Structure 1
Amino acid sequence: MTAPNGEAFRVHGVGATHQGMVRKHNEDNLLLRPEAGLWMVADGVGGAQAGDWASAQIVDALQDMPVPPTAPEVLASAVARLEAANLRMVSRAAERGGGMTASTVVLLLVHGVHYTCLWAGDSRCYLLRDGVMTQITHDHSEVQELVDAGALSPEEAERYPRANVITRALGVAPRVQLDRVAGRLQPGDRFLLCTDGLSRMVSDAEIAALLTESDIASLPSSLIAAALSAGGHDNVTVMVVTCEAVAGDTITPAAPGAPWVTGAGDVR
């Protein structure tokens, strides 16, 4: 990909998922489609089979999405496919006689020199830029609403007993509510998409320190290892996407990652 000023850079990512130390099933899912400029992490809700199935619906909806020629069309296509996955989850829950068949989602789209992040739930996207890490998503959760209302301090929120209760996700209503943030890429940008199996177990300060490691291929294993060392109370899934300046048009393939890495690649 080439910026208007003629500077060439590549965007590539690596991702990994782990069952954790407590859960019997992994209900998380992830998708890397570098050729489409698309990276996604999802956290299924509803217990074994239902949660697995729900997060898999998002993968199924996005993995064969054609790549439209313009950024607005890319966004519209992604939203339409997420809405279709949402309706499948709602229908499945009705067929099962009720209960929760849902999934959080956080999705990073890159088109040209711009990015868009879509999300529902408490799976997060962080951006590390110029050495400073910022959470660019805002959790859809009960505890976050209490913090926003001033009823809890951030320190109290860390000990809140219902921290896992989400207020928005795919599958909870016939019409999905997605939030969106967009911006312009800069060479050196590094995005982290993750489920709460990382963000609830590892502090932002520790995540930021790990995210500055120079070898992107090792980051998924490093981040997951930190979550497991902290107890690994939940499934944990991470995706790291980085924007690097390169000389000319030569694209160097991403280095292979840890054994559980699902995929890696580049988008021009």
Structure 2
Amino acid sequence: MDPWASSEHLKFETAALTHTGHVRRFNEDSIFTDGERGIWVVADGMGGHRDGNLASAMIADAARGVGKGASLMEFAEAFRRDIDAVNAELLTRSQGRPEHIVGSTVAALLSHDGNYCCLWAGDSRCYLVRDGRIEQLSHDHTEVQELVDRGIISRAEAASWPRRNVITRAVGAIDDFQLEQATGVVKSGDCFVLCSDGLTGHVKDEEILAMSSGLSAHQASHELLELALARGGKDNISVVVVNVVDKGATTLVMR
């Protein structure tokens, strides 16, 4: 499929990669992208649980069927409803038994009429690179992030905290499930990066900034994946890069 897609006055260049990594036997990540509709998704099946790949694949399938709606908020609500349905189905499968829980994180980017909405649960992330700076739009739903937010440990301590991978919110894990969201205006020159923690476990924010600035989405996604693999690839790795330009603008310089 053509990596370039147009929406309103903007043009999206998308590249998406997922890799098992060097340690795991199976890839429990799933990705979905549709630049024409303006929807990009990364889902990371919960490690250590049965059929995590099933949970993440269900999220990708749900994204495939989401109706766009007349506004960004309608688009986001349609996505929420479909993810709620996935959550309910996964809970039914587990039959209330914690040992049978099948779950997944999700990070989604929706775009409509020049605006964006990032929705997420868990520790898969959505970044915005703009004007030479990087901003993490999502906020991790993890035990360690809660400790940082409460001032109990520092960000430096969080990097090596023994329970840093414990997720506090995921699709399929709790009845009272809600996606968190962040919204804003899409601008020409923006770059959005969605990824699972298999990437951020090895690659720092400033490195994501450096590798996504001024490159094609294809080149940036490959460089990010290769760096994570070179540093051990201890988990499944997924990355989606979305570059935004005005229609009719020249393509980005590749290196």
TM-score (norm 1): 0.87
Is residue 50–residue 102 contact of structure 2 (8 Å, CA) maintained in 1? Answer: no
Cα deviation, residue 175, structure 1: 3.0
Provide the rounded CA distance (Å) in 1 between the counterparts of 2:47 and 2:247.
44
Cα deviation, residue 153, structure 1: 0.8
Provide the rounded CA distance (Å) in 2 between the counterparts of 1:221 and 1:187.
22
The aligned residue for residue 220 of structure 1 is: 221
Corresponding residue SS for 2:100: coil
Provide the rounded CA distance (Å) in 2 between the counterparts of 1:73 and 1:99.
34
The aligned residue for residue 52 of structure 2 is: 51
Cα deviation, residue 212, structure 1: 1.1
Q: Figure out how many residues of one structure are paired with residues of the other and give that number.
A: 248
Provide the rounded CA distance (Å) in 2 between the counterparts of 1:172 and 1:69.
31
Provide the rounded CA distance (Å) in 1 between the counterparts of 2:157 and 2:32.
34
Please tell me the residue identity of whatever aligns with 1:178. L
Provide the rounded CA distance (Å) in 2 between the counterparts of 1:215 and 1:2.
18
Provide the rounded CA distance (Å) in 2 between the counterparts of 1:46 and 1:139.
16
**Pair 1:91 & 2:92 matched:** yes
Provide the rounded CA distance (Å) in 2 between the counterparts of 1:76 and 1:207.
30
**Pair 1:79 & 2:80 matched:** yes
Corresponding residue SS for 1:35: coil
The aligned residue for residue 70 of structure 1 is: 71
Call closer, same or farther: CA 1:2–1:220 in 2, change over 3 Å.
closer
The aligned residue for residue 179 of structure 1 is: 180
Unaligned runs of 5+ in 1: 255-268
Corresponding residue SS for 2:36: helix
**Pair 1:60 & 2:61 matched:** yes
Percent identity at matched positions?
A: 41
Corresponding residue SS for 1:80: helix
Please tell me the residue identity of whatever aligns with 1:160. W
The aligned residue for residue 197 of structure 1 is: 198
The aligned residue for residue 164 of structure 2 is: 163
Call closer, same or farther: CA 1:187–1:77 in 2, change over 3 Å.
same
Corresponding residue SS for 1:128: strand
Q: Which moved more, 1:206-215 or 1:192-201?
A: 206-215
Please tell me the residue identity of whatever aligns with 1:55. S
**Pair 1:16 & 2:24 matched:** no
Provide the rounded CA distance (Å) in 2 between the counterparts of 1:103 and 1:173.
11
The aligned residue for residue 113 of structure 2 is: 112
Please tell me the residue identity of whatever aligns with 1:52. N
Is residue 187–residue 245 contact of structure 1 (8 Å, CA) maintained in 2? Answer: yes
RMSD between aligned alpha carbons?
2.2
Cα deviation, residue 11, structure 1: 2.0
Please tell me the residue identity of whatever aligns with 1:140. H
The aligned residue for residue 39 of structure 1 is: 40
Corresponding residue SS for 2:189: coil
Cα deviation, residue 133, structure 1: 0.7
1:104-156, CA deviations, whole angstroms, 9 ceiling, x for partnerless residues? 00010000100000000000011000010111110000110111111111111
Unaligned runs of 5+ in 2: 1-5
Provide the rounded CA distance (Å) in 2 between the counterparts of 1:56 and 1:135.
25
The aligned residue for residue 244 of structure 1 is: 245
1:62-111, CA deviations, whole angstroms, 9 ceiling, x for partnerless residues? 21222222222211111100000111111112287743200000010000
